[in-house]
Structure formats: structure tokens, C-alpha cells
Amino acid sequence: MAMELSYLIITPYTIMKSRTGGVIARLLSRSDLELAGARIICPSQELTEEYAAAIKRTVGKRDEKAAKLLSDYVKDNFAPAADGKKERIMMLFFKGEDACKKLYSIAGSLPRPVSKAAITGETIRDTYADMVLTPNGEVKYFEPAVLTPCDQTSATENLRIFAKFMEKEPNIVKNLIKEKTALEQTLVIIKPDNWRHPSTKPGNIIDMLSRTGLRIVGCKIYQMSVANALEFYGPVKNVLRKKLAPVIGKKAKELLEAEFEIKLHEEDESKLTETVGLDYADDQFHRIIEFMSGKRPESCKESELGAPGLVKCMILIYEGKDAISKIRNVLGPTDPTKAPGGTVRRDFGQDVMVNTAHASDAPESVERETKIVAIEDNPICRIINDFLSKGA
């Protein structure tokens, strides 16, 4: 069976109602597809009209009524408002065998008025979509929650449209809403431990972070290189050395004294701290690098340090008043065992290293960390164009 590349759009209303995490949890836990990319975009009038027309063409081949309903929905809900306010959509890109059919199955058919007994909540649209009819059967209200093509032909046509738009647009969207108070941005990384197998965890984490009321203005799927990880976590190295080396030096001294029944001098402890202690601290640092990149730095050739890592994570940019402190409060302390109940790390973390997510701790950190992860470089356009170049 051929490998396919498809997408699912989380609509502006679904994002506004903080249902993004729930949708992502369903998608990731119910298929074997690879999440190849993610991006927040604010559709222009031109993109909106082009996408709406494509829906009318492709969906209309099967169902003219559904095509008009979806096309009109896109035109009414995706384009910028008259006052310049932009609408956000989140696009998730999946690849794998039979990707279009699998995504469409998880999304579900378009909502329709049914009896309460017939509602199962099995699909995304069962749970989040709505359709209300007037007494004479006309559609009064329609919200599909998500949009996804049902076949690769439709997906390919639409991927071309979106890739062309995204190539010209920044990865972090702007001009969403006029605020009287100063806005702050912060960076969140949903770490590799959440992506080892199909799981609801990434979606559940996003759902918990949504309680802050902040807006997601940027995102991407990212494979951190060893070089990036070394730079990103560089400040941690000296912290580990100062914190762990003396403890290990003292412990080594005690073990040697007990084993050989001798009394060592204080200078011996200092030497053990500077050798065994520092080696232990550096090993812990290298474990962090391996956790985030999939490779230990000492096992990499210099030419391989900048290559994409073997594990993936998701990077999110949140925006709003006091964004840094709000996200960190929901995330919880670095050590999950010391985190309060109801925080992300308490619910999903394991230990100080495998603590499920990272969040910037200060404006200076946001600036430094976004540069390291090259937040404006979203690879999804390259992924789409590479797929299309192979004759899709």
C-alpha cells in the first residue's frame, strides 16, 4: 500500500473553545500514522477563497450539498475580519499507509441531526461538531470542528494550495487581536517521552495548558540535533557539576573507606570530587542530551552533531498576558515528585529528566531558546514539496 501524506485542520471555533488538546489526543492515540508536521496559520482572503473553491470541486464530486456546506463554512470562518482581526487554524500533517482514509475515519462524517440514542462520541465530530436545522430543514448552524480530505487526490490538491501560502508566511502568527495590556510570549516543548508510542499524552498536556487562557501562535514538530541540545541545555552543565560532583565525591570517599577500612583525607575527597564527581555530573548532562536528541554527544562524529535527532518533540509558542508565569504554574516544578497535583509534570512526569515538558523561565530565555530551535524554520513546506515532487 502506498505511503500517503494528508492533513487535518482544527477550525478557529475548536481552537477558541480550547478543544485543540482533545482533538490531538484522539488523533495520536487512534492511528499508527506519523505526525510529520504541525503549523498555526492565519488564512488570508486569497487562501480562504482558493481552499473553499477546492473543497467545492473535490467534495462536490461525491456530495454537492456537503461541498457547498463546507465551502461556505470556510469562506465565512477562515478569512480575516473587516477590522483586520485574523482567525487561527492549526494544521496537523500525517503520513503513512492509507493516511487519508484513517484520518477521515477518526474525524468522522459531517454532523447531522440524529436522536440522542444514536450519538456515540466515537469520532472527533461526534464529540465536537454541531449542526442545527430550522423546522423546514435548512441549516441554521454548522460547526464541523475539523476538516480533512477523504482521499489522496483531494489532499494533494489542497496541500499544494497550503504549501504555496505557508512558504511566504512567518511561523509565528501576528495581529490576532488588539490588547490594551502588554503581551508576552513563551516557549513550550512537549518532550520526546510523550512520542514513543501512540498516546493521548501530548493532547492531554495541551489541554491542561489551555486553562491558562493563552493563545497558541506558533508550533512545529522538531527533531533536536545534538548540537542544538548542547546549546539549549548548556547552562545546566555547570549547575549539575556544582550540585552533583561534591555529593558523589563524598559518597565515593565513604564507600572507599568502608571497603578498605581506611581513613581518607579531605584532599582525597576533593580529588574524588574533581574526577569521579565531575565525570558523574557530565554523564548526567549527556543523558539529558541523549534524551532530547536520541544520541549521546560522545558517540557522535563532529560532522553528525548538527543532523536532526532520532527523537521528536513538539514546540509551541503561547502568547498573552503573563504567559511565562502562567505556563510554568500549570507545568509545575522540575521534579515531578515535588509538583502539586493537577500540574502537567505531576500527572505525566517520571523524574527530574523525564519530566514531560519544558517551558521558558524568563523573557531572556524565550529569546535564547527560540533562536536555538529556529522557531521560524518550520520544515512542513519542505516535507510537502518533497512528497509532491515524487509524483503525488
Check residue 118 and report its DSSP letter: G
* Residue 211 burial (CB count, 10 A): 12
Radius of gyration of the chain measured on its C-alpha atoms:
25
Query: In this structure, what C-alpha cell is assigned to residue 205?
Result: 498536556
Active site residue 358: yes
Residue in 172, 184, 186 with CA at minimum distance from that of residue 361: 186
How far apart, in whole angstroms, are the C-alpha atoms of residue 2 and residue 166? 26
Per annotation, catalytic residue among 197, 265, 286, 358: 358
- Taken in order 53, 58, 60, 66, the sign of the CA dihedral is negative
Distance CA 193, CA 290 (A): 12
Question: 3-state SS of 216-243?
Answer: EEEEEEECCCHHHHHHHCHHHHHHHHHH
N-terminal to C-terminal alpha carbon distance within the chain: 14
Q: Which residues contact 17 (CB under 8 A, 6 or more apart)?
A: none
Catalytic residues: 358
